[in-house]
Amino acid sequence: MKKQLSRILPLAMVLATILLLTSCGHKHTYGEWTIDKEATCVENGSKIRSCECGEVETENIPAKGHTSGEWITDVEATCTETGTKYQICSVCSETIKSEIISANGHNGGQWITDVEATCKENGSKHQVCSVCSETIKTEIIKSAGKHSYTSKVIKAATCTTKGEQKFTCSVCKYTYTEELSPKGH
């Protein structure tokens, strides 16, 4: 039994000393905080300080969170196709957001006449996008539906001879002639 007491006694004394230091009213006097591990955008850090008795206190430093940085366009939007862009953290350069850029849509440009309308037949025209030159609209150009004639007597009719009158469309320049009956006596 004495052997066992001789082994337990030193251990009991160490425990008693620890209890005395912590429960005897010892007031800890801690030094300044020192950074043990810096906090990053996504990971906590830690800081420590020590008392003269050897007691160490540790506290977490919360993660800082990302700081919004610039937007970078990786695919430009076109008139008909969407694009993409992403935002990076200005501290750690990690991608923090990504977005789709809406298609721009066509910009109406000039109208180009493909077939001129005539007095009797329709024509056609198309509009091209001022950005990508793609055809975005086609339309029919309505014909007038009739000729707009002016006439000129080429040969005047007499009492016994026929005359001749020429008709010319002022729009399409179509021409034809008609006989004029003799006027008679």
Dist. CA 5–CA 12, nearest whole Å = 10
Question: In whole angstroms, what is the distance from residue 184 CA to residue 174 CA?
Answer: 31
What local confidence, expressed as pLDDT, does residue 19 receive?
58
Angular region, 133: left φ>0, alpha ψ -120 to 50, beta rest: left
Mean pLDDT of the chain: 87
Render pLDDT for 56-70 as a digit per residue (tens, 0 to 9): 999 999 999 999 999
40: helix, coil or strand?
Answer: coil
The pLDDT-based confidence of 24 (bands split at 50, 70, 90) is very low
What does pTM read for this prediction?
Answer: 0.51
